[in-house]
Amino acid sequence: MRKVTIILAMLLVIAMTTPSSTAKPAVDSNNGPVFGGQHTDVSNQSNQTSQISMLPPIAEDFTATWCSNCVKVEHALDELEAEGELQKYEFHVDPDIDESGFGSPEMTQHLRSRYNVPSPPLVAINGIMKKEGSVPESDSLVSDYRNMMQNQLQLGNAISSFSWTPAANCDCDLPDDMGIINWNLNADLSAYSNATLSVNAWIVEQSADFSGGSNGQGTYFDIVRQMIDLGGNPQGTANITIPAAIDGDDLEIHLVYVLDIPEVEEDDSPLVAPDSNDSALPGFMTSFTILAITAAAMISRRD
C-alpha cells in the first residue's frame, strides 16, 4: 500500500507540474482595422498612390528580447513576409525588462490598451484578428496566420496617397534629421462608424543587433522605433523628426492608418516575462502539489 501511495503521489506531482501548452485560437480583437503601410527609406524622396486592398496585410508582432516563445512567432512571420504575403512590424514591449533599447513605454501601452493583452507573444493581423502565444492551432503558425489574413477589411475601394521629402531634398529650412510627410486617404469608413481614425507615421529600423537577449535571436528585424500620431484628419502634412538608428543606416518611414474603438476598461497589471511555455503554472496548483506530497508522507508513516 505504501509503495502504491508514493507512486500515485509522484505521478500527481508530475502531472500538476507539467505546464500547459494548449493552443490559443485566433479571436476577433474587438477593435477597428490597422491598414496602409506605404513606406520609403527616410533618406529617399517618394510619392506613392496605392489601393489599400492591393497592399499586404499588416502583422503587428508584439515581442521582446527576453521572450523565448516569440522566436517561433517571428520565424513564421518572417517566412510569410519573405513570400510577400504580409508586412511585419515588431513592437518590443516593456523597456524596464528589455534592455535592448528597441522598445518604449508607448509600445507597451499599444499592446495593452488596444489588444487587452499583458505580455507577448501576440500577433494581430490588420488590427482585427489577434492570436496569443506560440502554439499553433492548425498544423503550423504559418497556417494560423494565413487563416487570420482571410478576414477582409470593409473599406471598399479605399485609396491612399503618401509622399515623403527628407530635409536634404526640400527647399525648406529644416534640420537634417527631419522631413515632410503628406497623406491623403479616400475611403468609406461607414462600416466602422464607432471608430476613431488615427493617422500614424511609424519609424521602422529594418534590422538591429542585440546580443544580450535571453531568447538568443541576436539580430531583430522590422523594429518599430517610434509611433508618431499625425491626428485624425484623412488629409494632411506634417514635419517629422527622425530618431537615430540603433545601428547601421536603415530607417524607414511608414504611413499607417489606425481605426480605434474605445476600450471600456484597461488592464493595469504589470508585464511578466513568460517562461519557455505559453502558460505558467497557477499558484493554487503548486499549493495542491505540496498538500499531495504531505498527504502521501502521512499515509506512508501510518503504513
pLDDT over 60 (residue 301): no
Q: pLDDT-based confidence at 5, cuts 50/70/90? A: very low
99-141: pLDDT as tens digits: 888 988 888 888 888 999 988 999 999 999 999 999 999 999 9
DSSP state of 283: H
pLDDT over 70 (residue 14): no
Distances (CA, A) of 134 to 22, 183, 267: 10, 36, 22
Where does 28-280 sit in CATH, by number? 3.40.30.10
pLDDT over 60 (residue 4): no
Helix (H, G, I), strand (E, B) or coil at 107: helix
15-43: pLDDT as tens digits: 333 334 588 999 999 999 999 999 999 99
pLDDT over 50 (residue 302): no
User: Radius of gyration of the chain from Cα atoms?
Assistant: 23
How would you label 125-160 residue by residue, b for 16+ Cβ within 10 Å and e otherwise?
Answer: bbbbbbbbbbbbbeeebbebbbbbbeeebebeebbb
Least confident window among 62-66, 69-73, 240-244, 246-250? 246-250
**CA torsion through residues 213, 218, 221, 227, sign:** positive
| Per-residue model confidence (pLDDT) at position 290 | 41
Helix (H) or strand (E) holding 173: none
Q: pLDDT-based confidence at 265, cuts 50/70/90? A: low
pLDDT over 90 (residue 303): no
- 237 and 182 Cβ atoms separated by less than 8 Å: yes
| Cα separation, 96 vs 99, whole angstroms | 7
| Cα separation, 43 vs 203, whole angstroms | 12
- 69 and 98 Cβ atoms separated by less than 8 Å: no
Q: Where are the beta strands (DSSP E) in the chain?
A: 27-28, 34-41, 46-51, 58-63, 87-92, 122-125, 129-132, 159-166, 178-186, 196-210, 218-229, 235-241, 251-260
| Per-residue model confidence (pLDDT) at position 21 | 58
What would the mean pLDDT of 135-157 be, rounded to a whole number?
Answer: 94
Does 80 or 8 have the greater pLDDT score?
Answer: 80
| Per-residue model confidence (pLDDT) at position 280 | 35
What would the mean pLDDT of 94-100 be, rounded to a whole number?
Answer: 81
| Per-residue model confidence (pLDDT) at position 95 | 76
174-183: pLDDT as tens digits: 898 999 999 9
271-294: pLDDT as tens digits: 555 444 443 333 434 444 444 444
| Per-residue model confidence (pLDDT) at position 15 | 36
Does 12 or 263 have the greater pLDDT score?
Answer: 263
| Per-residue model confidence (pLDDT) at position 113 | 87
Residue among 161, 159, 197, 146 at smallest CA distance from 54: 159
How many percent of the chain have pLDDT more than 90?
64
What would the mean pLDDT of 186-211 be, rounded to a whole number?
Answer: 95
Q: Give the count of alpha carbons within 13 A of 159, CB side only.
A: 4
